[in-house]
Structure 1
Amino acid sequence: MTAAHRNLDRADAETDGRRAKGERRRRAIIDATLRVVARDGVAGVSHRNIAREAEVPPASIAYYFAGIDELLVAALLESCEKMIADMDRLRERVDDNREWPRAVAELIVEMVREHRERTLGEYELYLLAAKRPALRPAARRWIEIASGSINNGAGGDPPVIRALFAAIDGLLLQGLIADEPPTAEELEPTLRFLLHPVDYLRK
């Protein structure tokens, strides 16, 4: 290998390293935003507060995001990607449609128990979209993606699908405000009732 080739490889490696470091910092800022929103509400989101929570220089926030709304949109989209990953994980795990109620019940329990802070932050942003139009496409994204996964992508009756996801949102909110969050055993009968029509949905 010539010296020129070695220099090119070194430059590529440095570029990749900077890109990876930048992506880690950007993700740290987004995660910090969700934590601040969950703890202090949207009013607590400022360049200084997010920088302190993410342990990055305040100038980093302005470097990665043009403004607070752009940061909030990024946080919502990150939450959507996590929900999509959760749905993909469930699909890999569920071999029979009869297993879906238990699987969704366990996911809800995980969200309100193990990831309570993150879920609170997501719902704070979700509700903020009612006031800030810039956030609405991001707020709707997870519902659109999840709806598209019904019947292995074949879709279904839109009113029934809307009712299903509205009910799941309700169960999550009820779980968040409960003195003692529900268990999968408690949620499973409700999910079995809600998911019963899904096998029969058609476009």
Structure 2
Amino acid sequence: MPRPRNQAERRAQLIDAAARAVISTGATALKLRDVAAEAEVTPASVLYYYADLQELFSAVFEHAAATYFGTREEAIAAAEGPVERLRACIRSGVPWPGAGERSTRLLFELFPVALRNEAVGRAHRVFVDEQTDLYRQVLADGEDLGLFTLGASPRALARSFVALEDGYAMDLLIGTATAAEIEARLLDHARAVTGSPAFA
């Protein structure tokens, strides 16, 4: 690992190294020495910046979630009108090959940590709420403009989209669905939820 100019840079390098190690080994099997080896430092160097592996996991999750959410937010903001924004919301949540699949795999590998790590659990709840709110706003806008006919509250339907994304992402990660198939399923759900022929 190149010598950092400051502590913030070293922490960022350790987060990146830990993320790579989580993807290759899995959070449940990962040891401090694995992260240190990936970062090309000693375990003591890792502990200088993070009290333990759990604290580092929390930092990795928060960084990954913020990056993932920011990408989605930008994609939706670039689309015009509720129909195209809902399409963008769906497409940006699909784990496409490459960076999308890697970021999804990283977050999924860290989900078990949220069950026992209070900080990661809180970060996960915020992450879900943020994604739900993306869908909620788009659905509410479409309903207000008379483009969508919703059978439930925008928030309830938004949460169902996020839950479906998680389930379908697992299908992809275990090899039982492709990214294109997941997008098609979510567009089918959009048609059922909104009553809009635009998603046919």
Q: Which amino acid aligns with 2:137?
A: N
Q: Give the C-alpha shift of residue 169 in structure 1.
A: 0.8
Q: 1:178 to 1:102 in 2, by over 3 A?
A: farther
Q: Does 2:40 align with 1:55? A: yes
Q: Does 2:165 align with 1:165? A: no
Q: Which moved more, 1:49-58 or 1:136-145?
A: 49-58
State how far apart, in whole Å, the 2-side matches of 1:142 and 1:101 are.
19
| Number of residue pairs matched by the alignment | 179
Provide TM-score, normalisation by structure 1: 0.73
In structure 2, stretches of 5+ residues that fail to align are 142-152
Q: Report which of the two structures shows the higher radius of gyration computed on alpha carbons.
A: 1
Q: Give the C-alpha shift of residue 198 in structure 1.
A: 6.2
Q: Which amino acid aligns with 2:98?
A: E
Q: 1:89 to 1:27 in 2, by over 3 A?
A: same
Q: Does 2:168 align with 1:182? A: no
What's the CA shift string for 1:152-196, capped at 9, x where partnerless? 69795443222111001112111212267332xx34432223334
Q: Which amino acid aligns with 1:69?
A: Q
Q: Percent identity?
A: 25
Counterpart selection for 2:27 from 17, 20, 42:
42
State how far apart, in whole Å, the 1-side matches of 2:63 and 2:41 are.
19
Q: Which moved more, 1:79-88 or 1:51-60?
A: 51-60
- 1:12 alignment partner in structure 2: none
- 1:114 alignment partner in structure 2: 98
Q: Superposition RMSD on alpha carbons, in Å? A: 2.9
State how far apart, in whole Å, the 2-side matches of 1:88 and 1:48 are.
36
- 1:146 alignment partner in structure 2: 131
State how far apart, in whole Å, the 2-side matches of 1:159 and 1:102 are.
18
State how far apart, in whole Å, the 2-side matches of 1:82 and 1:198 are.
29
State how far apart, in whole Å, the 2-side matches of 1:105 and 1:147 are.
12
After superposing on structure 2, the runs of 4+ consecutive aligned residues of structure 1 that deviate more than 6 Å are: none
Q: Give the C-alpha shift of residue 90 in structure 1.
A: 1.2
Q: Give the C-alpha shift of residue 80 in structure 1.
A: 1.3
* 8 Å CA contact retained: 1:175, 1:181: yes
More helix by share: 1
Q: Does 2:57 align with 1:67? A: no
Q: Which has the higher contact order (CA 8 A, sep 6+)?
A: 1
In structure 1, stretches of 5+ residues that fail to align are 1-16
Secondary structure of the residue aligned to 2:98 is coil
